[in-house]
Amino acid sequence: MAYTAKIKVTLRQSILDVQGKAVEHALLNLGYGSVGSARIGKYIEVSINEDDALAAERICNEICLKLLSNPVMENYSFELEKA
């Protein structure tokens, strides 16, 4: 059984998101006045070949902490789906 982990990595709320600010300004300049804040993160899809959902979840947490996110500046969340 394989699982697909859909991972979102976002900057912590207290960290200034310059890329998001650039998108906000660009949207204002394009005439979208109703768009407020924008924040940019990463979206990662990883397939995990494990039979056990708990094992897949443990692996997903580990790779998020070790490789995919910077825990000092970023939060992550994920959903596991059977593939």
- What is the distance between the alpha carbons of residues 48 and 50, in angstroms, rounded to a whole number? 6
Compute the least distance from the CB of residue 36 to a copy of itself, in Å: 4
Q: Residue numbers of the site for a copy of itself (CB under 8 A)?
A: 2, 8-10, 20, 23, 26-27, 30, 32, 34-50, 59, 62-63, 66-68
Beta carbon nearer to a copy of itself, 72 or 79: 79
Compute the least distance from the CB of residue 35 to a copy of itself, in Å: 6
For residues 38 and 27, is the Cβ–Cβ distance under 8 A? yes
Please choose, from the candidates 10, 66, 61, 69, the residue with its C-alpha nearest in 3D space to the C-alpha of residue 40: 10
Beta carbon nearer to a copy of itself, 43 or 72: 43
Compute the least distance from the CB of residue 49 to a copy of itself, in Å: 5
Overall size of the chain counted in residues: 83
For residues 44 and 7, is the Cβ–Cβ distance under 8 A? yes
